[in-house]
Amino acid sequence: MQTESIRLRPKKALYYHDRGLSQEAIGLHEAASADFSEAKELDPKIEK
């Protein structure tokens, strides 16, 4: 679901953040870190 949201609105930091949380929850730490980094780049105020 988050990947589709990102495809539709690739500049929305919250979508990357949410996908990062989902990935982290299932142990995909590298992918989660990449999404958190992208979220932070798009919106420096966003927090993990």
**pLDDT tens for residues 32-42?**
999 999 999 99
Give the pLDDT score at 2: 87
Q: What is the pLDDT of residue 38?
A: 97
Percent of the chain with pLDDT over 70: 98
How many Cβ atoms from other residues are within 10 Å of residue 31's Cβ?
A: 15
Residue 29 pLDDT greater than 80, yes or no: yes
| In the chain, domain spans | 2-42
Q: Looking at residue 1, what is its pLDDT?
A: 81
H helices then E strands: how many in the chain?
3, 0
